[in-house]
Structures are given as C-alpha cells and as structure tokens.
Chain A
C-alpha cells in the first residue's frame, strides 16, 4: 500500500461528481425542507447540466485523436483508474442529457407521487446517472463493478417505486436478472484478474498476459462472461426478458430512463472491456456476433406483434441493442466508435419517441397513448407531435429523413464488413428490413386518416385554433421542452451527423 493515488483532478471527475452531489443535496434538502418538488427538479437539472458542461472539454469535436485526459493515476507514470477520452466524454454527456430529459418528462407526473417521493425519485435518477458516467471513465475493476451496480440498482428501485401490480412484476424481472448478471460480472472480474494479474481494464493489463498462452482462454472467458453480464443491461437476447415487463410496468419517464441512461451505462461498461482487449489483435468475437444476430431478429419479430407502443419500444430496444453491439463483433477501435455512434442515434430517437408519448399521455390519457391502434389519424390531430414521432421512428428504422439513423446503420455495418463477417452482415441486412417493417407499421397508423367510425370523439379543437396551438396549449411545458430539444437535436444531427458522430473522435 505504499503507492497512493496521487493525482486527483476534480474537474475531470465532475461529470460523475455533479450528479452524485446533486443527489446528496436533494436528499439533504428534502430532510430540511419537506414537500418540495420543483426545487428538486431544478437542483437535479442544474447538477446534470454542470456535469454535462464538464464533459464538453473532452469531446472529440474538431480535434484529431485528442489526447485522453486521465486522473486517479498511479504515481510513477503508471496506469490510471479514470480516463476521460472522447468516447468516454461523449457517453457521459449523452447519459447526463438523457437523464435531464428523463427528469423533464417525469416533472409533470410528480403530483402523482407521494410526498417526499419526488426527492427519492430524483436522487435515484441522479445516482444511477452518476453510475453511468462513472462506468464510462472507469479503467479498473473496482470502479467498473461499483459504477455498473450503481447504475443498475437505482433503476430497480425506480421501477418498483410506483407500487402498481405491473410495476412489481417488472421490478422482479429486472431485479432477478440484475442480481444474476451482477454475479456474472463479478465472476468476469475475477477471471480477468486471474488472467491478467492486474486490476486494470486497460490494454496494458491485457497485453501483460500475451506471453502466457495458458491464460488466454481465461481472458476470453472473462470477456464472454462479462458480455453475458452486460448483455442483461443492454437487453440482449437471451438476457432481455425483463425488458418488456419493466418498460411496461414502469412509469413512462423511467422506461425512457431504462431505454436511455441504462443502455449508455451498459455500453460504456462493455466498451471499457472491448477497448482493453482491442489491441490484442483479437479475431472477431463470435459470442457478440451470435448475441447480436439473435437480439436483432427476436426483437424485431416480437416488436412486429406488439399492440402497445411501450412494449413495441421495449422490443425495439432489444433489436436495437443487437445493432449497438453488432460492430463490436469486430474487436477494433473503429468498432468502438461505430457502436458508440449507433447508441447515440438510437438513444436520441428513442427519447424523442418517449417524449412524444409522454405528451400524448397528457393530451389523451395513458390508456390511449399506449395503444397502437389509437394513433390512427394522429397526423391530422396533432401534426407537430406526429411529425416528431415520424422523425423518431424513421431514425430508428434508419431511413431518410432520419438520416442520423441511416448514418448510424452505415457506421455499425462498416466494422462488420471490414472484418468480412459476411453472414452477420447479411443477417443484419434482413433485420434492417424487419426493423423497417416494425417502425413503418406504427408510422402507417400515424399517417392514416382517422377512421370516421371511430368511437373516440375527435379532440375538441375550436375553430380558428390551429392544431399546433391546440397541442401546445395542452402539453406541460417541460414535456414540450423535451420534445422540442430532442426533435431539434435529431433534425440537426440528421443534417449534419458529424456534430454527433464527431463527438466520439476519430
């Protein structure tokens, strides 16, 4: 224990510290002044924005292969436990903004919560976000495990907290999977440690065992067990089963959180490990290829059957998770970037979809907003929301005008093709078709003219008031901000994907 951690760069750690501190402040505030609601949200949003601001310096924008910033390093120029390079910073930024949007979505709901519930929910969100940002920067086994668990456990609580029947079964499904997965992750960490003899998840550590062929299988085992453990969080088949239950049972903003921050955290964790072994010149990872292919296929097939939009989005998450890890089958640096890019595109589009649904919940009530058939004629009734939804769906489908999704598809397929994994690429192509079917099925309902025979009365739009104004008047401003922000972000990044993809660096 002679070596102590000497370098601590608090500014670098701010993306982690800010939400954690925010959570602490909120809990303290809640103890001091009870029944606060809006204050908690403001504090939480501020802390998230502070964290987000702190990541900007690390983004890869305009920099060529920017030098990674490190902290928590061992003294003699040794390894660091926290590295904030462009990929890390981008994922952190995404996690923080996603959390902020999730909070915006849940803001209008908070009247429904029990007194004091707001503080708990907001602080749990912040805590899980802190876990997500931490795991992105983690380069040692301890931080990695703790951060990942920090990102997971609060979500179980968040799902369970609503107390409804469906929430409980969702929470149980999520919990059991989380527990077992954590066990697997712990095993994976142990195996990694056994294989490399190092507690660091870095290339240096991985390269240390190159000389010893008997340890290689152990390393491989460590990686695949880690994939299995993280697969749960990413909703990869067959670790996905909790997803529809939890999405459907959880409150809408929490489902959005699961679809956003949780996925970012999981991918960040996976990327840490993949990047560690990438320099080994490893051949393609069949395990990831199989999981990816099965996830895409099953997710799309099941999504095609869903009649509730939340469940549809849940299954679409499963399918998209397959796309997210698709490039990782080719273990390389470009695969890491591709995977990150796809994740960003997916998160942005999914968030927009959730935001639109949240707005519709406020206008039409939860039951109608969750039923696919009730979306008929949405384009006529709420053109703004319908257009935003259409953009989100097309981005998920990867078709113009959702060019971001298209570019993400290009990015995701590229490493696969570069590694000449033809079979996987062709499976992905077929899944692109299935995916289009999934999202167009929804979109077709949205753009259809409303059925005159429908029993639901048309929304009472007074004459002379445009549908746009009617929409704006009936949706909570926070939700509108969320819809607007994500929609604008999606449009901007579709016109210039570089703004998003470039964050990841080159």
Chain B
C-alpha cells in the first residue's frame, strides 16, 4: 500500500495544479474550464480519501518524495511530503470544500467573462493548500503558504475592474505578506537549529535545543500565523476580502488559507507545547481576536462581512485550542474545530452567496426576510448558523466542546494563565456567537418586505490615477460600508452588479450545499472514529453552561430584534455605532501608521539617491570640467611660462626622486 499512498498524496497536490495550468490554457472555454477545475478537485478528493483509507488500513511510508532533495551542503532539504492521520483528514476536508466551491462557482460565475481564470486560480489555491497540509518540509509549507496568499490576491481582486476589489486584494496580500516576513525568519530559525528543513527532523531535534531559540522561532511563526489566519492585529484584511466573489470567500475563509495557520501549528504541536511564552502569546492574541471579532460581527450591517468577522472569531477559537491543549491532549481539538468550521462556514458562505444572488445584495437590509421568500435556503442556513453557534448535536457543538475540554484540562492540570484567558474569553465568545447568529437568523426571517428602493451605483468609477501610493490603499474607509445620512444601509459593492437574473441554480451547486449541510449535521460523529485522534471528552458542566449561555443570548437578541421594526437586533446600536462597527473600529489606522512612514522614507531615499549618491558621481564630472577650465587658463600659450613649468617640474621630479627613493 505504501506506493499507492505516496502516489495518491502526490496526486492530491498535482491534480489541482495541473487543473490550474490547463484551466489557464483553456480560460476562454467555459465548459472545458469547468470540467477541468471540477475534475481537479474531484480527483484530489478521491486521492485524499484513498490516502485516508489506506493509512488506517496497512503499513505505509509517511515520507513521500516530491522534486527530490536539493544539494545545499550543510543544509538538508529533502522536500518530502508527510502523510499521517492529521494531514489525511484535513486533506479530505479541504478537498470536500474545494469541490463544493468549484461546483458552486460554475453556477455563481456562470456569466462572468473571467470564469476560466477564476477557477484556475481556485485550483491553484487548492493545490497550495494541499501542499501546506501534506508538507513534510518547512520550505514546502512556505511555498504553499505564500502561493495561497498570492491566489487570495488574485481571487479577492478577481473583479479587477472595481477599485475597491483591487484595494482589498492589495491589502490582503500586503498584510499577510508582511506578517509572513516574520514567518520566514521563524522557519529559518527552526531549520537552522537542526540543519534541515524536514519537519520530522525539526520535531525530533528541537526538544534538545535551547528553549529561548524555540520561543523566538515560535514568536516569529505566530506573527505569520496571525497574518494568515487574520488574527489581531493583522485581522483587518479579511473582512475587506469580502470584495472577492462569494465562492472565493468560502474557500479562503472556510477551509483553507485562514485555517492553514492552525494546521501548521498543529503540525508542530509536539514542539510548540515546549514553549510556554509562545503559547501564552497565542492565547492572548486569540482571546482578543475571538471576543473582539465576535463583537464586531454583531454590529455588521452586511451579513457577508458578519460571516467574515465570525471567521476571525472561530479561527481564534481553533488557535486557542492549540495554545492551551496540554501535551497529553494534543492538537486534536483545534484540528477538529478546523474540520467542523470548514464544513459549516463553507455551507454558510455558499448559502449566503446563493441568497445574495436571489436578493441582489448582502447587506442586512437587502437580505431581510430573504429566507422567507426563498425557503429552499431555510434549512442550509439554519444548519449553518446553528453549527456556528455550537448547538448540539451539530458539528460545531462537538468541536467547540472539545476545545472547552482542552482549556479545562489546562486549567485543572497545569493551571496556566493561558488556560484561564482562553476559558474566560471562550465563555464570552459563546454568548456573542450565539447573539450574532440569532441576529442573522432573525434578519433573514424578518417579515417586513425587503427594501428594494436602495440601489446605489457602483463605486467603481473609472480610475484616473495620478499616483496611487500605498498609503491610499489603507486610508480610505472600507468601501460599501458607509451609511448615508438617511440611515439607509449602503449597498455593499461586492455583489451589486452581479445580476444573475433568475437563472436557476445548477444541480452541482445545490448538491454541494446539500453535502456540506449534511456534513455539518453529522460531522460531529467523526469524534467517535480514529480519524482525528480526539478522545470523546465532554466536560458536562461546561457544556451545559455554554448551552445556557447560548439560550440566554438567543432570548435577549430576540427581545432586541423585536424592539425595532427592521427586525435587525443590531439597529439597537444606532447608525453611528454601526458605522463604527463596519469600519472594524478603525484598525486601518495602524496600517496607515506603519505604511506612511515607509512611503515617506522611500521618498527620502529617492531624493538621496539623486541628490547624494548620484550627485557625488555627477560632481566628478563637474570637477573634471572645473579642472579642465582651470588648466585651460593655466596654459597661457606663452613659451616663457612653459619654461617656468619645465624647471618647476625638474624641481618636483628632482626632489621627489632624491627624497622618496
């Protein structure tokens, strides 16, 4: 079986990669593009499933070769894949979401002239994510990691005719890239310690090496993870990334890029647990993010952005599991939540995307009552929101409770600060999550007729560039979220022009939503299989109290919603505050504060390059001219003067000759 596992693992990565290249070649041909992209994802799913099956049924070699080791002298770089239970199950989850997204895109983008390019990018994205998941080498991880970032740039900026999409794409890439700089250094430190980039060697070797270096490495890695997983303070790119088409959002925010950080830390969990300072840092980051994002999510006027903030919060949950899980528990709870989040969040995005097509918008006002008019969406969205809120027996409940259990174990076994931090923030987040889920549900099922009057022209006016500096990208408020003076919710630009008319949803897209909904319901059962390696471990007291909290949130949001006519509980906050929420409390300011000095510095550099460095070069020209003019004057053409020179020359030559010889 070992050969077939290796082959399948390679196919998992190669299939979407080949699909991406082929897809680009046939980008103009829509059916071919659809076929190739869907086939790519499907092949990956099959191969992934085979890997998952095979490794539980027989011996296999975990190290799978790729392009061969690189000859780098002292540094060993085997560039192998690492197949084990962890990577196999995540591969399958990613492949499911990927296939669903590809199927859904076929319908969602059926009138987009760049459909072919889009699905090719998605394929490449999937390939990169598979690479991260299957990677047994830090460098391969980095490759997948960054390629995903680049693909996210392409996907978010898919509608490159629209300025806001371009800005969001640029922002997403730059923010994650800057965080990745630290990530690269972290990887270099890890590799340096053991002179190899093999992950197994890193895990085996580091326990014997100085803990300070390990902490340094992980602090660097955490910055990268925070960037990629959109954790505070790098979180702001993700809500803006909603500018991308909904399938892209589903892909980026459900199973792949943002979860890659979780997966990577889970992969390195055996040595991550050795570094308490790094774990504390992660706990604090995630605590801030999970609570903050959940609060902001509640106040969003745009339901898609609300989902984006909920993603931040949920990712923080997964990461917090890694920050607190005792070594005995392992990375299982975090990974479990990764899987469950992949299912229900993909479900939610696709379903909201579907709805947005039907109601032509994603703003809360636009979607108000949407589910009532489109009952076929009632069930999927309900399942998704329930899972998100963590209501039993849906998959969200199972995974969240296992995280809770891990935190509890931490507090009881280790009693560390991070355990407490996570436990408390978890409790707050449960309430808030239930609250915004309830709010969303109430909005979607609101009775009053949808306000069809609000239609704003696209912001994507034709671009007249003078000089777009990087500052500008960050200084303008996120588009489509500004409410005008009448208090009418602004139309988010994302889906405005996306007019599918009443073209019926394609069966493939419908099936994919159905499958995701099914998995969200029964996915929790995975805990009873050996696939994840998590002991069914519910702390009943905590589970009961979290259920209680959910109930309380449900009731209070219902009350709030009932108090205003729009049925939107968030209106309770008032227009001004919601605008503040929509801007994500202005975290953009941090980026501006970072970027504008850089641009100022760049201007100084250009000036210095011209007026200092190059001026010194030019000064030689001036000096030469000046010397030429001076010596021109000296050459008087008088023979008598020349005779004086001659004898002076004799003097110089004589003196220098006699003294210096």
| A residues in contact (CB < 8 Å) with B | 169, 172-173, 176-177, 180-181, 184, 217, 220-221, 223-225, 227-228, 231-232, 237-239, 241-242, 244-245, 282-283, 285-287, 290-291, 298, 301-302, 304-305, 434
Contact = CB atoms under 8 A, between A and B. Distances in A.
B646 interface: yes
A203 to B, nearest CB: 17
Given A223-B657, A225-B654, A237-B649, 16 more contacts: A176-B639, A220-B658, A221-B654, A224-B658, A228-B649, A228-B653, A232-B646, A238-B649, A241-B645, A244-B635, A245-B637, A283-B661, A291-B649, A301-B627, A301-B631, A302-B631
Given A283-B661, A302-B632, A290 B653 contact: yes
B653 A287 contact: yes
B647 interface: yes
Contacts of B660: 286-287
A290 B660 CA distance: 11
Interface of B: 624, 627-629, 631-632, 635, 637, 639, 641-643, 645-650, 652-654, 656-658, 660-661
Contacts of B647: 180
B484 to A, nearest CB: 63
A407 to B, nearest CB: 27
Contacts of B661: 220, 282-283, 285-286
Contacts of B637: 169, 173, 245
A172 B637 CA distance: 11
Nearest to B645: A238
A177 to B, nearest CB: 6
12 contacts: A176-B643, A224-B656, A228-B653, A231-B649, A238-B646, A238-B652, A244-B635, A286-B661, A287-B656, A301-B631, A302-B635, A305-B629
Contacts, number: 93
A184 B653 CA distance: 12
A245 B635 CA distance: 10
Nearest to B650: A228
A177 B643 contact: yes
B628 A304 contact: yes
A285 B635 CA distance: 28
A286 B632 CA distance: 27
Contacts of B646: 177, 180-181, 228, 232, 238-239, 241
B643 A286 contact: no
A368 B647 CA distance: 38
Contacts of A287: 652-654, 656-657, 660
A437 to B, nearest CB: 8
Contacts of B624: 301, 304, 434
Contact of B642 (A173, A285, A291): A173
Given A221-B657, A286-B661, A298 B642 contact: no
A172 B639 contact: yes
B652 A290 contact: yes
Most buried by A among B627, B628, B657, B658: B657
A220 B660 CA distance: 10
Contacts of A282: 661
Nearest to A224: B657
Q: Which 8 A-B pairs have the closest CB atoms?
A: A224-B657, A286-B660, A241-B642, A287-B657, A238-B649, A238-B645, A228-B650, A287-B653
Nearest to B661: A220
Contact of A298 (B631, B639, B656): B631
Given A238-B646, A304-B624, A231 B653 contact: yes
Contacts of B628: 301-302, 304-305
A434 B623 CA distance: 12
B565 to A, nearest CB: 80
A224 B649 CA distance: 10
A250 to B, nearest CB: 16
A241 B648 contact: no
A238 B648 contact: yes
B3 to A, nearest CB: 58
A227 B655 CA distance: 13
Contact of B658 (A180, A221, A245, A302): A221
Contacts of B635: 241, 244, 302
Contacts of A237: 649
B620 to A, nearest CB: 9
A176 B642 contact: yes
Given A302-B632, A304-B624, A305-B632, A225 B650 contact: yes
A291 B653 contact: yes
Most buried by B among A180, A217, A239, A301: A301
A176 B579 CA distance: 94
Contacts of B650: 184, 225, 228
A155 to B, nearest CB: 16
Contacts of B632: 302, 305
Nearest to B641: A241
A225 B641 CA distance: 20
A158 to B, nearest CB: 18
A310 to B, nearest CB: 15
Contact of A286 (B645, B648, B657): B657
Nearest to B624: A301
Contacts of A298: 631
A135 to B, nearest CB: 20
A172 B631 CA distance: 21
Contacts of B653: 224-225, 227-228, 231, 287, 290-291
Nearest to A430: B620
A291 B649 CA distance: 9
Contacts of A176: 639, 642-643
Contacts of A177: 642-643, 646
Most buried by B among A220, A239, A241, A305: A241
Given A173-B639, A301-B631, A290 B656 contact: yes
Contacts of B641: 241
Contacts of A228: 646, 649-650, 653-654
Contacts of A291: 649, 653
A82 B646 CA distance: 31
Contacts of A285: 657, 661
Contacts of B652: 238, 287, 290
Contacts of A232: 646
A244 B637 CA distance: 10
B345 to A, nearest CB: 65
Given A169-B637, A231-B649, A286 B631 contact: no
A8 B438 CA distance: 124
B631 to A, nearest CB: 6
Nearest to B642: A241
B645 A239 contact: yes
A440 to B, nearest CB: 14
A241 to B, nearest CB: 4
B429 to A, nearest CB: 69
A434 B311 CA distance: 66
A101 B577 CA distance: 96
Nearest to B621: A437
Nearest to A300: B624
Nearest to A305: B628
A285 B658 CA distance: 9
A7 to B, nearest CB: 36
A122 B643 CA distance: 30
A173 B640 CA distance: 9
A227 B648 CA distance: 13
A287 B652 CA distance: 8
A110 to B, nearest CB: 30
A220 B645 CA distance: 21
A167 to B, nearest CB: 14
A277 to B, nearest CB: 10
Nearest to A169: B637
A38 to B, nearest CB: 37
A404 to B, nearest CB: 27
A93 to B, nearest CB: 30
B658 A217 contact: yes
A286 B656 contact: yes
A142 B231 CA distance: 96
